[in-house]
Structure 1
Amino acid sequence: MNVFIITGTSRGIGEALAAQLLDDSHHICCISRAVNDKLINLAKEKNNRLSYHSFDLNHITAMDELFAELMDTIQQLPELHAIYLINNAGMLSPIAPIEHIDATGIAENVTVNLLAPMVMTSCFIRHTLALPIDKRIMNISSGSAKYLLPSQSCYSTSKAALDSFTKSVSLEQMNKPHPVKVASVYPGMIDTQMQAEIRSASRESFPYVDQFIQIADQGQLQTAEYTAGKLIDILLRFDFGSTVVIEEL
């Protein structure tokens, strides 16, 4: 049995990842604030294993309890061969020059995009330390970590920091007896709620809004389903982790 723990499964890439990974030999652990009934029903229809864990990633100090719950579920599965964590959940807002963003907006963005994956990674490694199986963590980053635009300072900074964190963890795991392979991936521009959010920004708060509207109008955005398929291909490669920051799918 292969276990996939995925954050941000209420919609978008996370939902598509969970749906495509449903399989007789897989158990999918979904994590999001809102429960995705569509995924639960799909798993029931296919008679596949899926458990849903409603959790707000802003509550980072409660993640040890979440992982204890996850491990209770996982330890009951037959013949565990591999366990994977996909830190997918993220948020773009606030979209504005930094002087227009208050402390609450900055803290929420950095918590969801950076602190939550950091704590999830810590919990994952700690709770699977003694397991002599294939263990992998994929962090969903963004090209915004490298290619900067105005009014996205919180998002770009948190994603750049996520890449650095991934590199650091890769170094730490290098000589462990049962190492966790890690990689940070730029998924590209995808037709999700995040893209809709940026297209709805005012020109005053985000001067490049017209270019993003044009990209969508010209059909240049990837679908969540296409992106999820590519991400799964990367996660399951034999050499996953050999490239720590993957900039193209």
Structure 2
Amino acid sequence: MKHIIITGTSRGIGESLANQLINPAHHLICISRTANEGLLARAKELDCHLDYFNYDLTDISGIEQLVENVFSRIELRSSDETIYLINNAAMLTPVSPIERLETEQIVENLHLNLLAPMVITSNFLRLTKHMNADKKILNISSASAKYILPSQSAYSTAKAGLDSFTKCIDIEQKLATYPAKAAAVYPGMIDTSLQSEIRSVSTELFPYVNEFIQLSEEGKLQSPEYTASKLIEILVSEDFGKTVLIETID
């Protein structure tokens, strides 16, 4: 049995990942602010094991208990089993020069994009430390961590931090008795709500908005379904973790 924890499954990549991973051999644990009724219905129709946790991951204080609750639904019986964590939940907003941002907007962005994956991962590793099983952590990062544009300081900073965090995990886990493997992936430019959000921003706040609109109009954005399939290929690969930062999924 593969136990797969995925955050941000209400829409976009997370929803596509969960849809493609619904399988009788998989136990999916989905986390998002609001439940995805479509995923729940499909899992029920196919008689697949899916647990759903409604939780706002910007509330860092409750994540430890959330992960405890998740693991109360997981039973690893042997080293043949696997447990994967996909830190996918993210937000792009606020898109604006830093001096125009409210403190609460900066905090919310960094909570969801960086602190939540760190705290989830910390508790995931703590609760699996003594488990001799196949353990993998896939962090969905962004090319924005490396290729910096104006008005995305919170998002880019958080994703750069997520990259560094993943590298730290890799180093630490090499010293563990039962190590987990970790990788961060830049999934590319995808036709999701995050892209819709940035296309709706004024040129005053984001000077490159017209370039993003053009990419969409020319059909150059990847679909969430294609992106999810490539991410799953990476996740299940025997080479997972050999490259800690994957900058392309093509």
Give the whole-Å Cα distance in 2 for the aligned partners of 1:196 and 1:234: 26
Please tell me whether residue 49 in structure 1 is matched to residue 49 in structure 2: yes
TM-score (norm 2): 0.97
Structure 1 equivalent of residue 141 of structure 2: 141
Structure 2 equivalent of residue 39 of structure 1: 39
Structure 1 residue identity aligned to 2:128: T
- Residue 78 of structure 1 deviates from its aligned partner by 6.2
List 4+ stretches of structure 1 deviating above 6 A.
none
Please tell me whether residue 240 in structure 1 is matched to residue 240 in structure 2: yes
- Residue 220 of structure 1 deviates from its aligned partner by 0.3
Structure 2 equivalent of residue 186 of structure 1: 186
Give the whole-Å Cα distance in 2 for the aligned partners of 1:66 and 1:56: 10
Number of aligned positions between the proteins: 248
Structure 1 equivalent of residue 165 of structure 2: 165
Give the whole-Å Cα distance in 1 for the aligned partners of 2:203 and 2:247: 28
Structure 2 residue identity aligned to 1:237: S
SS in 1 for 2:184: strand
Structure 2 residue identity aligned to 1:134: D
- Residue 239 of structure 1 deviates from its aligned partner by 1.2
Structure 1 equivalent of residue 230 of structure 2: 230
SS in 2 for 1:94: coil
Cα deviation digits, residues 76-121 of structure 1 (max 9, x gap):
x766700000000000000000000011010000000000000010
Please tell me whether residue 125 in structure 1 is matched to residue 102 in structure 2: no
Structure 1 residue identity aligned to 2:114: L
SS in 1 for 2:73: helix
SS in 1 for 2:14: helix
Give the whole-Å Cα distance in 1 for the aligned partners of 2:149 and 2:190: 17
Written as runs of structure 1 = structure 2, the 5 A alignment for 1:192-211 is 192-211=192-211
Give the whole-Å Cα distance in 1 for the aligned partners of 2:127 and 2:60: 16
- Residue 190 of structure 1 deviates from its aligned partner by 0.3
Q: Matched residues, percent identical?
A: 55
Structure 2 equivalent of residue 24 of structure 1: 24
Q: How well do the aligned residues superpose, as a CA RMSD in angstroms?
A: 1.0
Give the whole-Å Cα distance in 1 for the aligned partners of 2:130 and 2:182: 17
SS in 2 for 1:216: helix
Q: After alignment, is 171-180 or 60-69 more displaced?
A: 60-69
- Residue 202 of structure 1 deviates from its aligned partner by 0.2
Give the whole-Å Cα distance in 2 for the aligned partners of 1:4 and 1:226: 19
Give the whole-Å Cα distance in 2 for the aligned partners of 1:107 and 1:61: 14
